[in-house]
Amino acid sequence: MSNIVTVHEVGLRDGLQNQPKHVPTQGKIEILNALIASGITSIEATSFVSPKAVPQMADATDLYSRLPSDDSIHFEALVPNEKGYELAVNAGAKTIALVLASTNTMNRKNINMTLDHALNVNINVIGRAKAEGVRARSYISTALHCPYEGEVKPSIVFDIAEKLHSAGADELVIADTTGGGNPAQVKSIFNTLINKYGSKILAAHFHDTRGMGLVLAWTALECGIRKFDSSIGGLGGCPFAPGATGNLATEDLVFMLNESGYKTGVNIEKLKNAIKVAQSYVDQPLGGKITKWLDSQQ
């Protein structure tokens, strides 16, 4: 099995979407450049969502026009519906990340749709993307735990995954929105999905609310997953999932992987600079579990 792992940075999207202090587009570009300088090559840059729902992402079109035109860096944008898809593609997005949750309540709160409606929208957008040469990544949110409906039955996640896969999704991202999952669930869900679809089409997105992010990532890694979302400094959280805190911190993920002999291509020292740049734009103290120790190694 490959020892190359893709670290997909979501700090500019998931990380900033619930930050109360406005981050100017130029600040986002500075964070982005620091991330790229550290060796990150896969980045979710923004989301094309209602600016009323998520004011921090209101500059999505402007931001996209200012992304570096470097083919070695993979950029993508999250979209919740057809309008978002059109805005993203018009702005130059070659990969979009669709989102739906595995429960009705979470879909209602997040994107104002039922699960069935969200599935239809996702399937239609995947169809358009395929026809138009756009890559479609599909998030299945609240795959382990829903803040409104509690533990989620794996059969629901498998059913959604099958529908998105049949529609032609290029990637299925299993997302623990609240950080409410446990390693046994992760093992069971990924083993089943890997058996069905292979590991290459799958990715994992963990939040670190209960401090389990690294354990969940290691569990998924051992199942065969080689692509992980993470966020610089542990920024993040869905504004519509009460109690959800930041994503698994990129520095924690990279440190664990590099130390264990996996190849991420990311330099932990340079990542420290990206945390510093991000810190200058937000009020909450940033840093994953490894940050204090890293800072002590001057």
Looking at the annotation, which residues are catalytic? 238
As measured in angstroms, the least distance from the Cβ of 176 to ligand HMG is 7
Residue of minimal CB distance from ligand HMG? Answer: 84
Q: Taking the CA of residue 221 as centre, how many other CA atoms within 13 Å lie in the half-sphere pointing to its CB?
A: 24
Taking the C-alpha atoms of 237, 254, 276 and 79 in order, what is their torsion angle to the nearest 10 degrees? -40
As measured in angstroms, the least distance from the Cβ of 8 to ligand HMG is 11
Give the Cα separation of 192 and 84 in Å (integer).
Answer: 31
Give the Cα separation of 58 and 5 in Å (integer).
Answer: 31
The residues, any chain, with a CB within 8 Å of residue 279's CB and separated by 6 or more, are: 233, 285, 286
Residue span 45-74 as binding mask against Mg ion, x where in contact by CB under 5 A, dash where not: ------------------------------
The amino acid present at 236, given as its one-letter code, is G
* Closer Cβ to Mg ion, 14 or 251, answer by number: 14
Give the Cα separation of 56 and 24 in Å (integer).
Answer: 9
As measured in angstroms, the least distance from the Cβ of 59 to Mg ion is 20
The amino acid present at 273, given as its one-letter code, is N
* Closer Cβ to ligand HMG, 9 or 14, answer by number: 14
* Closer Cβ to ligand HMG, 53 or 294, answer by number: 53
The amino acid present at 148, given as its one-letter code, is Y
The residues, any chain, with a CB within 8 Å of residue 159's CB and separated by 6 or more, are: none
Neighbours of 261 (CB within 10 A): 7
Size of the site for Mg ion (CB under 5 A): 1
Residue 25 contact partner, candidates ligand HMG, Mg ion, none, CB within 5 to 8 A by sort of partner: none
Per CB under 5 A, does 76 bind Mg ion?
no
DSSP state of 4: B
> Which tokens go with 131?
């026809």
As measured in angstroms, the least distance from the Cβ of 180 to ligand HMG is 11
User: Interface with ligand HMG by CB under 6 A: which residues?
Assistant: 14, 17, 47-50, 53-54, 78, 80-81, 83-84, 87, 99, 110-112, 139, 141, 175, 177, 205, 207, 238, 240
* Closer Cβ to ligand HMG, 47 or 199, answer by number: 47
**Residue showing tokens 């979009």:** 96
Whole-number Cα distances in Å, 255 to 181, 244, 267:
22, 23, 9
* Closer Cβ to ligand HMG, 129 or 268, answer by number: 129
As measured in angstroms, the least distance from the Cβ of 14 to ligand HMG is 4
Among 7, 9, 12, 14, the residue binding Mg ion under the rule CB under 5 A is: 14
Give the Cα separation of 114 and 244 in Å (integer).
Answer: 21
Question: Could you tell me which stretch among 8-16, 30-38, 181-189, 249-257 binds Mg ion (CB under 5 A)?
Answer: 8-16
Residue 255 contact partner, candidates Mg ion, ligand HMG, none, CB within 5 to 8 A by sort of partner: none
Residues that bind Mg ion (CB under 5 A): 14
